[in-house]
Structure 1
């Protein structure tokens, strides 16, 4: 029974990792993806906090688009950053404070 349960868990994890929108993104407090790392969140178009962060990387492969906002509710657009994934680091230098972001699991910046 334990073996069956373990097999189900492994299959479930693989299915989640392969599902569209399951791509991960991590924001960092320092430039060049240094300093404290934030939560590893899904790159699924949902709104996430970016306050106190300076850079990010998308750990999944493939082109993604990350959109940044001045407020914490993803309403006041500042800039968009294409990201090639595969843990390529992007430094966020917008000239203003960034409060939140959305990540698209494809190259479309229309979040």
Structure 2
């Protein structure tokens, strides 16, 4: 291989590496657009919160509705923080309500 060809290959590799480095520094976030609100006709099915990483330099919140539509929300907004607090409160109450509180004395069994 000639020296000029080696130089072009080396330059191409350097361009690819620099492009990859630029994409990793906050350029490949999941949320390119933040939604202003949720579609109230559908219930929330799932919430994923992605922390800052090498690939994205911000916290991202992706909400999936029961119709499988996905919304990106701004975790810094008060309305989003209230929504999360409300969901966490409901989940905590459901967990407390599902705990069995029966004691051996309160159980009734028939004797033969």
| TM-score tier after normalising by the smaller chain length | under 0.3
Q: Which has the larger radius of gyration?
A: 2
More strand by share: 1
More helix by share: 2
Q: What TM-score do the two structures reach when normalised by structure 2?
A: 0.27
* Higher relative contact order structure (alpha carbons within 8 Å, sequence separation ≥ 6): 1
Q: What TM-score do the two structures reach when normalised by structure 1?
A: 0.27
